[in-house]
């Protein structure tokens, strides 16, 4: 007779006793823009093999944090280590271990999708044969086969996102840092992408993603951090952060600022 098995968090190592290596270690990260403090001292350790979600309201500092993590934005204070390598003192080694999907940065969009993937691959130091083979695989996995010959600037927002995701993975990094990866991606594509990411995590990779879609984070991530006003209000495994509530309820409770919709009665007296 089989024993009922306790469901492990996704991506957990098979040997629970061995301490998990940190894929990402953030210490005392601070960033100010003039008077405004965007990130006010963030400490975070993310174990290898996690599917980690960062949630927060608009303007909470998620993008700023992830930009500093990926070596795109210089922090005022603090350090970031990727698999033990400091991003800002040894950027070449650290960035090789990372795949990045930034939010709101342009792509070289006058290239075709195929050219952009090729460009990303060669810049990452892959050889041409590998890049071409991986381009085929990625295009099939993300449903981009039909679009590789078209200019990225003619893509829809969701397709651009998928292409950027593919470009982030092409050098098979150990850590994927994805800022709003599912924004404007249709549900079918999102499901495909999630499946790809879950297989990647199961194979020992680490995913860190930010989003403000709570349901999605709650469904796919095994750990989560809630960021409000540039600081982490709570972090840990999904179960410990969420408690008995849904992640959304817990988030709204922490973030505060729910406004009751009073004084809008005129909206219910229709004019014509």
Give the interface with another protein as residue ranges (CB under 8 A).
Answer: 70-74, 91-92, 95-96, 98, 100, 102, 104-112, 114-115, 118-120, 122-125, 127-128, 131, 149-151, 153-154, 167
Element (DSSP H or E) covering residue 198: helix 187-202
* Smaller CB separation from another protein, 167 or 217: 167
Alpha-carbon distance of 82 to 22, in angstroms, equals 8
Q: How far is the CB of 76 from another protein (least distance, A)?
A: 13
d(CA 189, CA 143): 8
> DSSP of 34-89, one letter per residue?
TTEEEEEEEEEEEETT-EEEEE--TTSSHHHHHHHHTTSS--SEEEEEETTEETTT
Q: Is the dihedral of CA 202, 203, 204, 207 positive or negative?
A: negative
Answer whether 24's CB lies under 8 Å from 48's CB.
Answer: no
Could you tell me the smallest distance in angstroms from the CB atom of residue 116 to another protein? Answer: 9
Minimum separation from the CB atom of position 108 to another protein (A)? 5
Alpha carbon of residue 11 to chain centroid: 16
**CA–CA dist 142, 145 (Å, integer):** 8
Residue closer to another protein, measured from CB, 138 or 226: 138
Looking at the Cβ atoms of 126 and 221, the one nearer to another protein is 126
Closer of 153 and 184 to another protein (Cβ): 153
Assign 165 to helix, strand or coil: helix
Nearer to another protein, 123 or 140 (CB): 123
Indicate the DSSP class of residue 8: P
Give me the least distance between CB of 177 and another protein, in Å please.
10
Nearer to another protein by Cβ, of 105 and 140: the residue is: 105
Q: How far is the CB of 74 from another protein (least distance, A)?
A: 5
* Least distance between another protein and beta carbon 25 (Å): 19
């Amino acid at each position: 007779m089989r024993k009922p098995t306790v469901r492990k968090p996704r991506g957990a190592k098979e040997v629970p006793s061995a301490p998990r290596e940190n894929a990402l270690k953030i210490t005392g990260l601070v960033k100010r823009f003039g008077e405004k403090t965007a990130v006010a001292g963030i400490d975070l350790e993310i174990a290898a093999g996690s599917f980690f979600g960062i949630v927060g309201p608009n303007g909470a500092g998620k993008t700023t944090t992830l930009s500093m993590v990926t070596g795109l934005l210089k922090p005022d204070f603090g350090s970031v280590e990727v698999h033990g390598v400091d991003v800002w003192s040894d950027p070449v080694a650290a960035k090789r271990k990372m795949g990045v999907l930034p939010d709101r940065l342009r792509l070289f969009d006058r290239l075709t999708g195929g050219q952009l993937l090729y460009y990303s691959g060669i810049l990452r130091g892959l050889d041409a044969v590998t890049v071409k083979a991986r381009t085929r695989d990625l295009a099939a996995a993300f449903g981009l086969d039909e679009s590789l010959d078209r200019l990225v600037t003619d893509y829809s927002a969701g397709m651009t996102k998928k292409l950027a995701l593919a470009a982030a993975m092409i050098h098979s990094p150990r850590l994927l840092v994805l800022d709003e990866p599912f924004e404007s991606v249709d549900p079918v594509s999102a499901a495909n992408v999630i499946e790809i990411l879950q297989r990647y995590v199961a194979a020992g990779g680490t995913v860190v993603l930010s989003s403000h879609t709570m349901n999605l984070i709650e469904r796919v991530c095994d750990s989560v951090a809630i960021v409000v006003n540039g600081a982490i209000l709570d972090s840990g495994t999904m179960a410990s952060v969420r408690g008995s509530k849904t992640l959304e309820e817990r988030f709204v409770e922490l973030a505060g600022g729910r406004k009751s919709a009073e004084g809008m009665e005129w909206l219910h007296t229709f004019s014509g």
